Every structure is written in structure tokens, then in C-alpha cells.
Amino acid sequence: MNKFAITLFGLLFCTGIGNASDNWYDSLKMSGDLRYRHELIENDTKPSRNRHRIRARLNIKATLNEYAKVGFQLASGSDDPISSNQTLDGGFASKELTLRQAYFEIKHHRAVGLALTGGKFKTPFFKPGKTELIWDGDLGMEGGFLKYKKANKLATIELIGAGLWVEERSSESDSYIAAGQAVVKFKLDDKKSRLTVAVGFFKYVNGLNHPFFFDDENSMGNSTKLYIVGNDTTLVYANDYELLELSAQLNLKLAETPLSVYGDFVTNGGTDSLNTGYLAGFSLGKTKKPGSWKVSYNYRELERDAVVGAFSNSDFGGGGTNAKGHKLGAACQLANN
């Protein structure tokens, strides 16, 4: 058996962090957050459930030089790709710490506006209102993407092309996502308002007739079928997933209060039924300083095979697809930081 491997960017570390600063620690940027959450879960067929959960995250970014950066994120949780939550139970058992991000970003002076990112990174695609119709906010994608950005007085254009590795298999074809998105941000009303429109296409290769991603016992709402090979029977995806997404967001001020109105629509060309989803909502206000506030609302409907449930919002409707309903939120900032 022959093996052939290429290490692309290990040389980044050989350039020396000192190129960016005289002191190595000046090149580091650290951030993090802690969330404590209580959940009351009510289901018509099960007893009510009270659950206490924490999420802790630590981000580290290092600027190696003016053209190269690396980043890492450590977080609580398990190997679940769409959740960093850790339930408080188990007789005070110690909780897990996981690697949620590990990536590089490189640029070149002859390719102005172009950046290459690879490794494990947060979702690079525009999500209106930071909503999660297709991609959960905790999802750390793996693979690589190219992003081109160009701005002028009227608008900013962003083009993203990505290859995302979902499942590597030793005896079958690998599953991956070929993705692209175009985003245009128009400057309105003397730059106080902005209209963002985006179109994206996400094609899952080798998903049909393959086991469910991450958890081969849970399709997260997607349609399934039995796949028989010899004497083995496996539950697999019953459809392809070729997602076309259209989204828009308008940011403006209402009596000096920030207002955002947004919408998101997705359809799956890999099947002819139960293949659409949409979301519409708004947010008013912004939590920026003590005493500031924000309220938000959105409504969504996500049919069974509109998206891949394994990567959609982990909280709404119990996670996955085949759900519809309202989401109402409110926040008030009590203190700095």
C-alpha cells in the first residue's frame, strides 16, 4: 500500500511570529464566553424535562505576519458537530473539552482581496440575522474555502467557493460538499443603512444511499430508506441534497434605534417533495452598553428534506428538520463586558 501526503502550510510556523511583533504575545488575540442555560422541555408524549446546561468557549488567534494567521477554539461539549452545550448531571462528573476550530488563513500581495482558509473553521457563509435555517451557529466546518472581497463606494462584493469534507471512508466513496455563495452589501442612505442580498448553492456528493452523517442511527428528520448489500441492511438517506439558498437582510435605523429585517429561503433540488424551507424575522435595538436592549422575532418552516438535518439548528423543534414555529427573544445589557 502506497501513501502520499503533502503538508501545505507547516512553513507558516517557520516564518516566526516575531515578523508581526517584537514580542510573541503581542500577536495573540484571545476571547471567550460562558453561558448558563436552564431548559424546560415539554413534549406531549413524554414527561416534562428540566435541564441545566453550560457552554464555555476560548478563542485564540495568532497573526504570524501580514499575510498569515492561525486560529483555534476550545469549547465544552462532546463530538456533536452542532452543539457545544454540556448538560450538568452525572453525579458532578468532570466535563469534556473539545477542539472546535483549528485553521489557517493566508493571503498574497499579488492577489488583493483573495484569502485562502483551511482546517476546521466556523461557517463562512452569510446567514441573515445570524439565523440557522441551514447551518447551526456552533457548526465547525472542515476542509477549505477561497474568499474574494472587493469594495467600492456603493457596495461590497464577497464571493466564496468551498470544498467541505464530511465523511472519509476507507472502502466506499467519500462524502463532501461543493459549495459557493455570492454576497452583495449595498450601502444606502449615506452609509447609515445597508441592504445585503445573497445566493448560495450547496451540493452534497455521495449522500444518497449512504449512512446518516455523524450519527448513523438518527437522520435528524430527513427521509430514510433501507439499503441492502448482501446480508447487511442499513438505514440510509433516501434523497440527494442540492440546496439553493436565497437570502436578504436590510439594516437601518428607526428613530436612532437599529432595526434589522431579514428573510431566508432554501429549496432542495435533490428531491421533488418536502424540499423547501423559509424563515422571516426582525430585530430591534442592540446590546452595546449598559442599559441598552434588543428584541427579536422570527418564524420558520423547514420541511423534512429541505436541508440536511445533521447540520441545521440544534435547538429549534428539538433539532433537525420537519419543524415550524415562532422564536421570540429579548435582551438587556446590565454592565460592561
Predicted confidence (pLDDT) per residue in 175-187, tens digit: 999 999 999 999 9
Whose cell is 485564540? That residue is 60
pTM > 0.85: yes or no: yes
Q: What is the mean pLDDT of the segment spanning 122-140?
A: 96
**Rounded Cα–Cα distance for residues 215 and 196 (Å):** 35
Predicted confidence (pLDDT) per residue in 118-127, tens digit: 999 999 999 9
Q: Is the pLDDT of residue 2 over 90?
A: no
More confident residue, 5 or 155: 155
Please report the pLDDT score of residue 174 as a whole number: 95
Q: Is the pLDDT of residue 74 over 50?
A: yes
Q: What is the mean pLDDT of the segment spanning 182-203?
A: 93
**Phi and psi torsions of 129, nearest 5°:** 65, 15
* Sequence-distant contacts of 230-233: CB under 8 A, at least 24 apart: none
Do residues 161 and 180 make contact, with C-beta atoms less than 8 angstroms apart? Answer: yes
Q: Is the pLDDT of residue 54 over 60?
A: yes
Q: Is the pLDDT of residue 262 over 70?
A: yes
**Rounded Cα–Cα distance for residues 67 and 55 (Å):** 32
From the list 239, 209, 248, 218, the residue with the least C-alpha distance to 311 is 218
Per-residue pLDDT band at 9 (split at 50, 70, 90): very low
Q: What percent of the chain has pLDDT over 90?
A: 83
Please report the pLDDT score of residue 19 as a whole number: 52
Do residues 279 and 307 make contact, with C-beta atoms less than 8 angstroms apart? Answer: no
Please report the pLDDT score of residue 230 as a whole number: 72
Q: Of the ranges 11-15, 110-114, 202-206, 273-277, which one carries the lowest mean pLDDT score?
A: 11-15
The C-alpha torsion from 105 through 76 and 58 to 128, rounded to 10°, is 60
More confident residue, 44 or 207: 207
Per-residue pLDDT band at 172 (split at 50, 70, 90): confident
Averaged pLDDT of the chain: 92
Do residues 320 and 306 make contact, with C-beta atoms less than 8 angstroms apart? Answer: no
Please report the pLDDT score of residue 44 as a whole number: 86
Q: Is the pLDDT of residue 17 over 50?
A: no
Q: What is the mean pLDDT of the segment spanning 220-246?
A: 93
